[in-house]
Amino acid sequence: MSIRVPLTVRSLPNPRMAGVGGNTSIMRVNLGVAFAMPDGRPTPTWTASLDPGAPFSLLPRQLWELCAGSVRGQTTIRGIVRSPEGELPVQVGDVTCLLTAETGDRLALPILSYLAYTDEVPVLLGYQGILTEFGLRIDAEQGAGFLEVVRGS
Amino acid sequence: MSITVLHEPRVTEQEQRDFRWLMDHLPDLTVRYPDKWVAVCNEEVAATAAGGEEASRLARQVKGADSRPVIHFVEGGAYVY
């Protein structure tokens, strides 16, 4: 039995590269995601970008304050800027991610996530716990894709 | 395998419609609300704010306490994560 989670692929305008020729649009792979709160109810739906280049998922403060389970520790994460000014301090904690299958069922996955101290970050779904469980198919031309897991009958 | 299928509570039809509306209007939102959080409810932007939960709270004030707005961060440019 195959379970699929629909993905949306969108091409977005890139005003910061307006003077550059060619196709400078920004491609993003998005999905709706919720997280289990301590009483088991789901948070509202937040959109997330699927980021296979991110080792772990990342949640802004106002989201993980609703749903975080145990916090394992703290660390800092860096992007393309390696200097200390580019570091983002985060906590590392366990959350239960709720993806929406194409059937409308929710799929609960416990994942280890970076928990930012700021709201100035988007919701990113990274590799660990997501792409370790699902296969990924993206068709940019169709503007769609899916995560897929095949389970035994 | 650590995936559990939950048959309840399902995502509401309105949440699914709001998510689709949001995805269909992302290019316009990128121009109108760069680097803002938006809360979409009943297929329109109900609130914007500096934080997602704040946008959701403002949207529920407008649309009703039982509403479940879909929350999205509008990227204002090509961020590399």
- The answer to whether residues B14 and B42 touch, using CB atoms and an 8 Å cutoff, is yes
Instruction: State the residue range of the domain holding B20.
Output: 13-73
Work out the angle at residue A132's Cα, subtended by the Cα atoms of residues A126 and A135, and round it to the nearest 5 degrees. 95
ipTM: 0.93
Output the pTM of the full model.
0.92
Which residues of chain B have a CB within 8 Å of the CB of A32?
A: 11, 15-16, 19, 70
Residue B32, in any domain of the structure: yes
**For the domain that residue A82 is a member of, what is the CATH number?**
2.40.70.10
pLDDT digits (tens, 9 = 90+) for A92-149: 999 999 999 999 899 999 999 999 999 989 999 999 999 999 999 999 999 999 999 9
Mean pLDDT score, A22-44: 92
- Scanning A24-53 for CB atoms below 8 A from B yields 24, 26, 28, 30, 32, 34, 41-42, 44-47, 49, 51, 53
Residue B8, in any domain of the structure: no
B23 or B2: whose pLDDT is higher? B23
Q: Pick from A26, A101, A149: which is nearest to B75 by CB?
A: A26
Question: What percentage of chain A carries pLDDT values higher than 70?
Answer: 99
Instruction: State the residue range of the domain holding A67.
Output: 2-17+24-150
Residue B22 has pLDDT above 80, yes or no: yes
Rounded to whole angstroms, what are the CA distances from A78 to A1, A60, A84, B80?
Answer: 39, 16, 8, 11
- For all residues of chain A together, what is the average pLDDT? 92
pLDDT digits (tens, 9 = 90+) for A62-78: 999 999 788 999 999 98
A100 or A16: whose pLDDT is higher? A100
Interface A–B counts its CB contacts (< 8 A) at: 133
Residue B44, in any domain of the structure: yes
A119 inside 8 A of chain B by CB: yes
Mean pLDDT score, B42-67: 95
Residue B52 has pLDDT above 80, yes or no: yes
Query: What pLDDT does B1 receive?
Result: 59
Work out the angle at residue A112's Cα, subtended by the Cα atoms of residues A109 and A116, and round it to the nearest 5 degrees. 120
Instruction: Tell me how many domains chain A contains.
Output: 1
A85 Cα to chain B: minimum distance (Å)? 15
Q: Pick from A44, A98, A151: which is nearest to B56 by CB?
A: A44
Query: What pLDDT does A1 receive?
Result: 84
Q: Pick from A12, A46, A108: which is nearest to B4 by CB?
A: A108
Residue A153 has pLDDT above 60, yes or no: no
Instruction: Tell me how many domains chain B contains.
Output: 1
Rounded to whole angstroms, what are the CA distances from A127 to A54, B12, B26?
Answer: 6, 27, 24
Mean pLDDT score, A23-31: 91
